[in-house]
Structure 1
Amino acid sequence: MKTAKSSGIIGDLEYKTPKVKIMYWLFFAIMTIISLVCLLPPVWVILSSFKDVKEFYEIPPTIIPRSFHIEKLWDTWNEFKFMRYYVNTSYVTIGTLVFTVLFNGLAGYFFSKLKPKGSAFFFLLILWTVLLPSTVGIVPLFGNIVDFPLFHINFTNTYWPLWFLAAVNPVVILIFKNFFDTIPASLVESAHIDGASKLSIFLRIILPLSGPVLITISILTINGVWNDFFWPYMILKDQSQWTVIVAIFNLKATLPADIQFLGLTFAIVPPVLLFLVFQRYIMQGYSIAGSIKG
């Protein structure tokens, strides 16, 4: 007698039930429709960017271009110097990634392994900040960027504010802490007995054992930086400092609509490629984030 196999949350025996089968295909149809609704806008932008100008302005618009003008990619890339904006975005991404992993990782290590007196209270404060609307701190933060307290330094047109903002992310701290809790305390104690400092334990033991969470946080951080608009737009006023998203927004008044779509294509492709290559780690990251315990 064969045993019933289970694939996902519905087993083979359950699937043979007409009611379960109808519900399964109903949910499948709903998820397919939602996926198509989410995919249609970026796909339409990418395909429309290859149309010639006449076809681009046709009413009703065509979904699939009658002719593909691939040469527009290279011409637009060179004419508007998109490589410079890619490089700027790369600078922001690298710095943000370093600040995110180092400072939030240290905070997670602090709350997970060091746990000095009073740390539970500060951890509770971090949990509370997650509940605050993100718009609450916009005005005071921007004021500190324009006139940094004590030193009276203006950080506009620099990448430092974007990196500083990444240094304290409550959600990332929670993810790090949750993962570090799974590392045996005996390893930390053994290293401490051998004379390793707390910072050395973090850099040489904790981080090397945290590959899955580091990969996940890195991917989500890179994707977030690439799509970030508000703070780069507020801080980077000099064109030589613009990121890709800011450049597309600021240049839209001088660009024809089809060239704007090409610029959006340049902005869409890197995050899409990142997701397609590392989607397995991204799904693991959401699993880690969902398993956070207070």
Structure 2
Amino acid sequence: MTTRTLIPPARLARPRGRALYRTAFALVAGGFTLVFLGPLYWIFSGGLKSAQEAVRTPPTLVPQTFQPENYAQAWNVMDLSGLLLNTLYYAFGALAFQLVLDVAAAYSLSRLRPVLGKAVLGMMLATLMIPATVLVVPQYLTVLDVPVFERNLLNTPWAIWLPSVANAFNIFLLKRFFDSIPGELLDAAAIDGAPPLRVLWSIVLPISRPILGVVSIFAVVGVWKDFLWPMLTLPDPAKQTLNVGIYSLSSGVPANVLTAALAVASLPTLILFLLFQRNIMSGLTAGGLKG
């Protein structure tokens, strides 16, 4: 059975067809490359310019003055090391809470089948339709005075960790993967006398490494790139994240040093994606098909 394509294979086999296909592919691939890599080149090259060249109009495509010391100046003047440690602390704390609580929620919805489990899942997925900015005010009022406990969580890591746990998208991804695990495997463990927690720890989690890697990356990047929520809940400059700290110190810093600081702030997530892009794609597609 032949595969149907947009262009017939017989036409692609001709020299003219191959030339047109390669030209179209090169134009499309080159256009997308410019769209995605253009901003990265602009920010990293802007950190190498002088202060006058960084604000020049029209801007220069290639730096005329090469000043790599701008990155060292940004690291020292804006205290990027302290902001980086704060961000790592918040990001990996949110990762730990998400792995524990989101996995437990997804496993219970997938395998334990609680009463009204489908209704709970439906209400969780409905929250994905609500814009994130709409939830800022009620979330802020909640961390300002936590119900029942009557605690103020501002300027504490809990203000970042607790809202990040309620991630319906990650729970849905985990549940879909858990649904794809063969039931016979889990039934055999139950027959051998393994309780549900033992089945989760010894069987489900080792199989779920691809999707756990994806959820981990989403959790770290979600905290790393967030700006509005840390700015509201962490007013203390000593406890701010990287993005908020750079914004707070941007008023008295030259444009080239500020651009270098922004390049440093974007570098860790870029490296994370380049290292684990294959795991991200395999984890997102895992559990999509049964069989």
- Regarding TM over 0.5, the answer is yes
Greater relative CO, 1 or 2 (CA 8 Å, sep 6+): 2
Q: How does 1:204-283 map to 2 (within 5 A)?
A: 204-283=202-281
Which amino acid letter does the alignment assign opposite residue 46 of structure 1? F
> Is contact 2:214-2:283 (8 Å) kept?
yes
Provide Cα deviations, 1:14-70, integer angstroms capped at 9, x if missing partner. Answer: 633767974774465234323312321221111111112233233332121123222
Query: In the superposition, relative to structure 1, how do residues 288 and 77 fare at CA in structure 2: closer, same or farther (>3 Å)?
Result: same
Q: 2:198 aligns with which of 200, 204, 214?
A: 200
Contact 2:87–2:242, Cα closer than 8 Å, also in 1: yes
Instruction: Work out the percentage of aligned pairs sharing the same amino acid.
Output: 33
Tell me the distance in 1 between the aligned counterparts of 2:215 and 2:22.
Answer: 33
Worse-superposed segment, 88-97 or 53-62 = 53-62
TM-score, length-normalised on structure 2?
Answer: 0.88
Distance 1:61 1:75, change over 3 A: same
Match of 1:141 in 2: 139
The residue number in structure 2 matching 1:39 is 37
Cα-to-partner distance string for 1:151-196 (whole Å, 9 max, x where unaligned): 2111011111221112121111111011111212233233333333
Give how far 1:149 is off: 0.6
Number of aligned positions between the proteins: 288
Paired position in structure 2 for 1:105: 103
* 3-state SS in 1 of match to 2:60: coil
Q: Distance in 1 between matches of 2:115 and 2:22?
A: 51
Q: How many angstroms apart in 2 are the aligned matches of 1:95 and 1:154?
A: 19
The equivalent position to 1:96 in structure 2, one of 88, 94, 97, is 94
- Give the Cα separation in 2 of the matches to 1:16 and 1:24: 12
Question: Is 2:157 aligned against 1:159?
Answer: yes
Select which of 53, 56, 70 maps to 1:55. Answer: 53
Structure 2, unaligned stretches of length 5 or more?
none
Residue identity matched to 1:150:
V
Amino acid paired to 1:258: N
CA distance in 2, matches of 1:127, 1:101: 19
* Cα shift readout 1:137-160 (whole Å, capped 9, x = no counterpart): 221111011011112111011111
Return the offset for 1:76. 2.2
CA contact (8 A) 1:5 1:11 kept: no
Question: Structure 1: how far apart are the matches of 2:151 and 2:289?
Answer: 38
Q: Is the CA contact (8 Å cut-off) linking 1:42 and 1:268 kept in structure 2?
A: no
Measure, in 1, the Cα distance between the counterparts of 2:238 and 2:70: 23
Q: Secondary structure at the match of 1:181?
A: helix
Kept after mapping to 1: 8 A contact 2:11/2:17: no
Contact 1:52 1:69 in 2 (8 A): yes
CA spacing shift, 1:33–1:184, aligned 2, 3 Å: same
> Counterpart in 1 of 2:178?
180
Q: Which region of structure 1 is more displaced relative to structure 2, 46-55 or 279-288?
A: 279-288
Q: Distance in 2 between matches of 1:170 and 1:152?
A: 26
Name stretches of at least 5 consecutive residues in structure 1 with no aligned partner: none
1:101 CA drift (Å): 1.5
Distance 1:13 1:114, change over 3 A: farther
* 2:69 equivalent to 1:65: no
Does structure 2 conserve the Cα–Cα contact (< 8 Å) formed by 1:178 and 1:292?
no
Q: State the shift of 1:253 in Å.
A: 1.1
8 Å contact 2:78–2:249 — kept in the other structure? Answer: no
